Chain A
Amino acid sequence: MFGLNPKDTRFLLIVIALTLLTPILLNPFPTESGLAQFNAGYPALMQRFAIYGLMAIGFNILFGLTGYLSFGHAAFLGVGSYAAVWMFKLLSMNVIPAIIASTLVAGVFALAIGYVSLRRSGIYFSILTLAFAEMCYRMAYSVLTPITNGETGLQLTLNDPRILDGGEAITSLPVPGLFGLQMTSYSTLNIAGWSFTFSVGYYFCAVVAILGFYLSLRIFRSPFGMTLRAIKSNQQRLNYTGMNSRPYTLAAFVISGMYAGLAGGLLAAMDPLAGAERMQWTASGEVVLMTIVGGVGTLMGPVLGAGFIKYCENIFSKINEGVLHGWFGFLPDGLEDLVVWIFARFVGEGWHLTLGVMFMLIVTFLPGGLVEGGRRIAARYRNRGKSDAAKQPAE
């Protein structure tokens, strides 16, 4: 089915099911329970999972398959957001033309940046992409203010032309939508103590992310994907075998840039504003971390990595000193202050410290990322089950 073999089809169907059930799966704790703060099933967070997951999927096509490590993909994310907001301002609040424009504009940028950067490989390539992204960031911040609105960021205004659906005077800012269905609308389902929110915004992102995942699956299984892996393995050999590695890497670069642009468009579709900080190098670094934490070169890894990091960000940055005092209140006063002081460095604004520690632990003990962790657990589980019976063959 879907042009895939049965194993991949099953894999894809599982991913689709999990994605569609996310609002339920990520809300395991009843609303009133103390653990409810660890729930992740609310639209704003789930949207980020899907959007950054999509970006990481695309990044993995470049980094995972060819081994070329770009440190500039946030530039495409930012460009995508600007393109989308401009579409909202000029054309229509419909998200479809907006995300198409994001993808295409990011593709053009990726073509130009990739064409130059791919003349080098290894660390020089990474530095070039970093430099280009930093340039884009600086320009968005200052020189290109007429297009990007500089420091303030690009926003909707009451008198945007919107040639397709503007016209009548409005008193409040319009909301992006899909043929009349507003991205911010949602319905809530209350069952016993649980409360699940199904929002249009999340499901729109989820569908786009699933399509992106499906495309990446096809690319991984295609001759093109195999050639990209050959580039990572031995680029010299590939050239002496009659293939020109340059257009292959450029194609991978442009495709992954377009994924990032699409992700940027979705960010704007969820919240129609675009700022230069989205292009900062820390944002480029984040997608690298997501891919490595999840598992470089694996299909699911980048998505898991993106979800993991965004979830941790959400949890850790919510915790403040007040919360910590609540947790450690049982300790004697002096000790309590000390412990709270130490933990406070790792939460809230300081959550990046926690991210750094987690990253080091994962790279050291699980070089294959979360996917490898999953595999190890599965292997242990299988070994235990082996004594029962060799009923089903291992997958």
Chain B
Amino acid sequence: MGILEVKGVNKRFGGLQALGNVNLSVQENTVHAIIGPNGAGKSTLLNCLVGKLIPDSGSVMFDGKSVLGRKPYEINQMGISRVFQTPEIFADLSVIENVMIPCFARRDGSFRLHAIETVEREKDIIEQAERMLADVKMLDKRHAHAGSLSRGDKRRLEMAMCLVQEPKLLLLDEPTAGMARADTNNTIDLLKEIKAKRDITMAIIEHDMHVVFSLAERITVLAQGTPLIEDTPDNIKGHPKVREAYLGEAQV
């Protein structure tokens, strides 16, 4: 049994079958990549995992509990954090505040009224956020306005916001899209480092094969809403069906 078990999930948008009978099992403490051409349904699948969408049928079990019908904040509190395809950050807050919010969410749960004590007195939270920012090499920008960051920095910030929660399952939707090569490599190193440091399961969607093959232990290929094949990176690389459906066009 994997930490995440997706069984027979279907999702239609009008006439479009975005997900058709998707089965996916992600084993604990592994990095599982989901690849596939544009419009394959990868992001839609993640949406079904975090409560953004409810599948028409099928089941999604995390840690032995169903996530279907739960609110996004409940699912996050169960231990799933997600980095979105287009960065979702608090653009009007400072960089460090962006990282402090998930720290509060982790410490205080989904609601706690801390209306009197000042943020400045929350030394533990500040320290935690600063350590995280140092890990993603953004400590020097901690007082910057998050909305003014570059696209690559916004992605790194969002990743920091998810990592600081120490989730059991981290969902990454194209975390390196739009990053310079050097930043992409930094991101790979960061994820490897986190992985080495503690127990964490990652499901990563990526078009950049360099990232996929550097990190993934298992790969699922999704095409037109249905898993085509699931195997180790080495086997996927040489698979004719995969070359035909996906890799051929990605390795330009």
Pairwise interchain contact A243-B105, C-beta atoms closer than 8 A: yes
Q: A221-B118, A239-B71, A251-B113 are in contact. Are A226 and B101 (CB under 8 A)?
A: yes
Q: A223-B122, A226-B93 are in contact. Are A240 and B104 (CB under 8 A)?
A: no
Q: Which residues of B contact A248 (CB under 8 A)?
A: 111
Among B72-80, B132-140, B192-200, B221-229, the stretch in contact with A: B72-80
Chain B, residue nearest A222 (CB): B115
Determine which residue in B71, B101, B109, B119 has the highest number of CB atoms from chain A within 10 A of its CB, and name it.
B101
Pairwise interchain contact A218-B118, C-beta atoms closer than 8 A: yes
Least CB distance from B135 to A in Å reads 18
Interface: B31 (CB within 8 A): no
Complex Cα–Cα for A244 and B120 (A) = 23
Interface: B92 (CB within 8 A): yes
Pairwise interchain contact B110-A242, C-beta atoms closer than 8 A: yes
Interface: B204 (CB within 8 A): no
Least CB distance from A382 to B in Å reads 20
Pairwise interchain contact B116-A222, C-beta atoms closer than 8 A: yes
Pairwise interchain contact B111-A3, C-beta atoms closer than 8 A: no
Q: Which residues of B contact A329 (CB under 8 A)?
A: none
Among residues 1 to 38 in chain A, which have CB atoms less than 8 Å away from a CB atom of chain B?
3-5
Chain A, residue nearest B97 (CB): A226
Least CB distance from B111 to A in Å reads 4
Interface: B106 (CB within 8 A): yes
Complex Cα–Cα for A168 and B224 (A) = 87
Among B12-20, B83-91, B175-183, the stretch in contact with A: B83-91
Interface: B50 (CB within 8 A): yes
Residue tally, chain B, CB below 8 Å to A? 36
Complex Cα–Cα for A5 and B119 (A) = 11
Pairwise interchain contact B115-A242, C-beta atoms closer than 8 A: no
Pairwise interchain contact A240-B120, C-beta atoms closer than 8 A: no
Chain A, residue nearest B79 (CB): A242
Pairwise interchain contact B117-A233, C-beta atoms closer than 8 A: no
Q: Which residues of B contact A255 (CB under 8 A)?
A: 115
Q: A222-B117, A226-B119 are in contact. Are A237 and B88 (CB under 8 A)?
A: yes
Q: Which residues of B contact A245 (CB under 8 A)?
A: 73
Complex Cα–Cα for A248 and B108 (A) = 13
Complex Cα–Cα for A219 and B113 (A) = 10
Interface: B82 (CB within 8 A): yes
Interface: A257 (CB within 8 A): no
Complex Cα–Cα for A221 and B102 (A) = 17
Pairwise interchain contact A224-B92, C-beta atoms closer than 8 A: no
Interface: B54 (CB within 8 A): no
Pairwise interchain contact A234-B88, C-beta atoms closer than 8 A: yes
Complex Cα–Cα for A241 and B90 (A) = 11
Chain A binding surface, main DSSP class: helix
Pairwise interchain contact B90-A234, C-beta atoms closer than 8 A: yes
| Neighbour of B92 across the interface among A5, A221, A232, A251, CB < 8 A | A232
Interface: A225 (CB within 8 A): yes
Pairwise interchain contact B111-A242, C-beta atoms closer than 8 A: no
| Neighbour of B119 across the interface among A223, A232, A234, A240, CB < 8 A | A223
User: How many A-B Cβ pairs are below 8 Å?
Assistant: 107
Interface: B215 (CB within 8 A): no
Pairwise interchain contact B73-A243, C-beta atoms closer than 8 A: yes
Q: Which residues of A contact B108 (CB under 8 A)?
A: 223
Complex Cα–Cα for A253 and B134 (A) = 37
Interface: A355 (CB within 8 A): no
Q: Which residues of A contact B34 (CB under 8 A)?
A: none
Pairwise interchain contact B118-A241, C-beta atoms closer than 8 A: no
Least CB distance from A152 to B in Å reads 40
Chain A, residue nearest B146 (CB): A233
Interface: B161 (CB within 8 A): yes
Least CB distance from A86 to B in Å reads 29
Complex Cα–Cα for A247 and B109 (A) = 12
Q: A5-B118, A222-B115, A242-B76 are in contact. Are A230 and B165 (CB under 8 A)?
A: no
Interface: A48 (CB within 8 A): no
Interface: A73 (CB within 8 A): no
Q: A219-B115, A234-B88 are in contact. Are A244 and B76 (CB under 8 A)?
A: no
Q: Which residues of A contact B90 (CB under 8 A)?
A: 229-230, 233-234, 237-238
Interface: A280 (CB within 8 A): no
Q: Which residues of A contact B247 (CB under 8 A)?
A: none
Pairwise interchain contact B114-A224, C-beta atoms closer than 8 A: yes
Interface: A236 (CB within 8 A): yes
Q: Which residues of A contact B77 (CB under 8 A)?
A: 242
Pairwise interchain contact B93-A241, C-beta atoms closer than 8 A: no
Pairwise interchain contact A233-B91, C-beta atoms closer than 8 A: yes
Pairwise interchain contact A240-B92, C-beta atoms closer than 8 A: no
Q: Which residues of B contact A92 (CB under 8 A)?
A: none
Pairwise interchain contact A227-B101, C-beta atoms closer than 8 A: yes
| Neighbour of B113 across the interface among A218, A224, A229, CB < 8 A | A224
Complex Cα–Cα for A4 and B120 (A) = 9
Q: Which residues of A contact B172 (CB under 8 A)?
A: none
Q: Which residues of B contact A242 (CB under 8 A)?
A: 73, 76-77, 102, 105-106, 109-110, 165
Complex Cα–Cα for A219 and B119 (A) = 10
Q: Which residues of B contact A218 (CB under 8 A)?
A: 115-116, 118
Chain B, residue nearest A252 (CB): B115
Least CB distance from B251 to A in Å reads 33
Least CB distance from A57 to B in Å reads 14
Complex Cα–Cα for A248 and B93 (A) = 17
Complex Cα–Cα for A233 and B108 (A) = 21
Pairwise interchain contact A241-B161, C-beta atoms closer than 8 A: yes
Extra contacts, 15 of them, besides A5-B120, A241-B165 (Cβ < 8 A), are A222-B118, A222-B119, A223-B119, A223-B122, A225-B115, A227-B101, A237-B88, A239-B73, A240-B88, A242-B73, A242-B102, A242-B105, A243-B105, A244-B110, A251-B113
Interface pairs A-B: 8 shortest CB-CB: A242-B105, A242-B76, A233-B92, A223-B114, A244-B110, A233-B90, A224-B115, A221-B118
Spell out A's residues near B (CB within 8 Å).
3-5, 218-219, 221-227, 229-230, 232-234, 236-245, 247-248, 251, 255
